[in-house]
Amino acid sequence: MNYASSIQTTGLVALPPWRSRLLFVILLFGLLTLVARSLYLQGIHNDFLQQKGDARYGRIIDINAHRGMITDRHGEPLAISTPVESVWASPQDVEATPQQIMQLAQILGMGAKEVKSKLFDTTRDFVYLKRQLPPDQAARIIKLGVAGISLQREYRRYYPSGEITAQILGFTNLDDNGQEGIELAFQTQLGGKAGSQRVIKDRRGRIVEDVASIHAPKPGSDIALSLDSKIQYLAYRELKSVVAQHHAKAGSIVVLDAKSGEVLALANWPSFNANNRGKSTLQVMRNHAVTDLFEPGSTMKPFTVAAALEAGKITPATSINTEHGVYTVGGRKIHDTHPEAALTVAGVLQKSSNVGTAKIALMLPPEIFWRSLSENGFGAQTGSAFPGEAAGKLHDYKKWRPIEQATMSYGNGISVNLLQLARAYTVFANDGELKTVTLLKQETPSTGPKVYSAATVHAVRDMLELVVQPGGTAPLAQVAGYRVAGKTGTAHKLEGGRYVNRYVASFVGLAPASNPRLIVAVMIDEPSGEQYYGGQVAAPAFSSVMGAALHLLNVPNDAPLDNVLAPPAEIVKEEV
C-alpha cells in the first residue's frame, strides 16, 4: 500500500517528516539561546542582575567624617563634634502598623500624618525622618521594630563656651558644614572628607552585613586659634556689663598681642548661643567687630600727628593756634568741646582738639596724608581671613577738598572696623611696624611693613600717655601698676548723609607703655543717658580688661602699684 492509499484508508492527514525535524531545530535553538543568554548575564555581563539584586538587598551608605576640633591657644576645646543618630527610612521596605506610626510620631515630636507621608513616599528610595537625635531617643525608635527604618551615625557640633565665642566661631549646619565664622573660614581643614560603604540589608530593611568600604572617611584636622579662653571670658563679661550699664545698642571689644598680631580675644554683645540658635537673628549672629564699619572719631588723631611728625612738619612741643575752639575751613566750622587759645601738639592729643588736629593735617600734602593712612591698613582688610570682613573706606586723595582732609584727621569721613583699628595701633607698639593680625595660634611673631620711624612712634606714645592722666580725656583708662597709652573717640553717627545726636564711644590703648604687650580696643554703639563720651564709657572697660589680662599673662609692672591718679570731678570731653 502506498502513502496516498494509506491516507485514504485511515482518513488521517500525515505530516511531512521535515516538519518535525524543523520543530526540533527551533526548540533546540531556543534552548541554546536561553543558555547563552544565561551565561552572558550571569557570567559576562552581570551588571543588570547585580543592580536588581542590589536594589533589593544592598545599599551604599555615606560615612560621615569626624569634624576637626577647634581649640584656644592652650588646647581648651571651643568646638567639638559629638556623635548623634539620624533616623531614616526606605519607603519601599517600610512595614508599619498605625499604632507604630503613632508611637514613632510621639518619640520624634512630629505629627502622625507627616510621619506617614514620609514613610510611604514610594517615589523616594531614602528619606530622613529626623536628624541628630540623642542616643536614648534613637534607641527607643529602634525598639519599635518598624521594618524599613534604620539609624545613621552623624555628628553634631557643640560649643562649650556658648555665647562667649559665638560670633567668632560661627556654626555648622545639619550636615556639619561650616556656615559662619571660623567654621566657614576653615571648612576645608575642619570638614575632612566623607566616605561610603556598601551594605546588605534584610527584608525588614535592617543592615545585616558590611560588604565593603568604597571610600574610607578622612577626618578633619584640629585647629588651634590664637584666642585665650580666659581673656576672652574677661572681655566678654566686661563688654556685656558696660553695654547694660549705659543702655547701649551694642558693643565690641578686641584684644591683640601687640608683638605677634594674634587676636587673644574678640567679643560682641548682644550675642547668641550657637548650641541653640532658636530665633536668633542674622544681625545678632554677625561678628560686628570685623564685618561692621563705623567712623572712628578721635581715635584717628594719633595717626594724623604721626604723619606730620614723620614728615618733619611738627614736634611734640610745636604750638598750634586752636582759635578758641572754632575754625572755619571751606565755609564749614570745626568746633572743640573745650575751647583753648593755643595748645602744643602734645596738648592737642591730650585734650583731643579737633581744631588742632585739622590744622596739623592741613600742613601735609593730601597725597602724603593719604599714603600714611593707607600704610596703616585703613581702607584694606586686615588679613584675618574672617568671612565677610569689611575693608573700610578711605577715599582717593585726588577727590579730597580741604574740609574733607581736615575732618578725616579726627575720624570723620573715614570708616573702619574695630579689628582694623586695633591692628593700626600695632605701629605704636612695634617701633613703627604694622603687624598682620591672625586668628590662628602662631609659633613665631608675624612681620609687617615699616610705617614710621622709632623716634616718631616713641614721641606719639609719650603723648598718648598724657591722654590717660588727669587733664586728658581718659583718666578712667589707667591701670594699677602699668603705664598706659591710648586715645578716646566720641563720634556722631552718620545716618542718611547727616550726623545725628547718637554716638559711637571708643577707646584704643596699649600697655605697658614702656614696652607694649597688649592692645585693647573697645567700641560702644549708641550709649544713652548723660554719659556717652569715650572717656566715660569705653575707657573704664579698657582698664578692667587690660589690667586683668596683663596679670593673667604675668606681664611685669612698669609703674608703682599706686600709680593710678584720681580723675578730676569733670573729665575732659571730646566730640566730633
Per-residue pLDDT tens for 45-91?
Answer: 666 656 655 555 556 666 778 899 999 999 999 999 988 888 888 88
CA atoms within 13 A on the CB side of 449: 8
Judged against a pLDDT cut of 60, whether residue 1 lies above it is answered with no
Rounded Cα distance, 286 and 418, in Å: 13
| CB neighbourhood size of 224 (10 A) | 17
Judged against a pLDDT cut of 60, whether residue 244 lies above it is answered with yes
Rounded Cα distance, 252 and 286, in Å: 11
Judged against a pLDDT cut of 70, whether residue 15 lies above it is answered with no
Judged against a pLDDT cut of 50, whether residue 7 lies above it is answered with no
Q: What is the mean pLDDT of the chain?
A: 89
From the candidates 298, 352, 409, 415, which is the catalytic residue? 298
Q: Give percent of the chain above pLDDT 90.
A: 63
Please tell me the least confidently modeled range out of 28-37, 67-76, 416-425: 28-37
Phi/psi of residue 557, each to 5°? -70, 145
Q: Give percent of the chain above pLDDT 70.
A: 90
Strand runs labelled E in 295-346: 319-321, 326-329, 332-335, 342-344
Q: Where are the domains of the chain?
A: 60-224, 229-271+287-552
Question: Which residue has better confidence, 499 or 211?
Answer: 499
Cβ contact 462:429 at 8 Å: no
Architecture of domain 229-271+287-552: 3-Layer(aba) Sandwich (3.40)
Classify residue 212 by its DSSP letter.
E
Question: Which residue has better confidence, 35 or 13?
Answer: 35
Judged against a pLDDT cut of 60, whether residue 450 lies above it is answered with yes
Judged against a pLDDT cut of 70, whether residue 129 lies above it is answered with yes
Residue 298 appears among annotated catalytic residues: yes
pLDDT tier for residue 261 given thresholds of 50, 70 and 90? very high
| pLDDT at site 431 | 95
Average pLDDT for 461-480: 96
Judged against a pLDDT cut of 80, whether residue 315 lies above it is answered with yes
pLDDT tier for residue 10 given thresholds of 50, 70 and 90? low
Cβ contact 88:65 at 8 Å: no
Judged against a pLDDT cut of 90, whether residue 436 lies above it is answered with yes
Distances in whole angstroms, Cα of residue 147 to Cα of each of 6, 67, 129, 202, 468? 72, 31, 14, 9, 74
Judged against a pLDDT cut of 70, whether residue 210 lies above it is answered with no
Q: What is the pLDDT of residues 319-362, one digit of tens each?
A: 999 999 999 999 999 999 888 999 999 999 999 999 999 999 99
Judged against a pLDDT cut of 90, whether residue 11 lies above it is answered with no
Domain 60-224 grouped into CATH 3.40.50.970:
no
| CB neighbourhood size of 8 (10 A) | 9
Alpha helices in 92-196 (DSSP H): 98-108, 112-119, 135-143, 166-169, 181-185, 187-191
Cβ contact 449:434 at 8 Å: yes
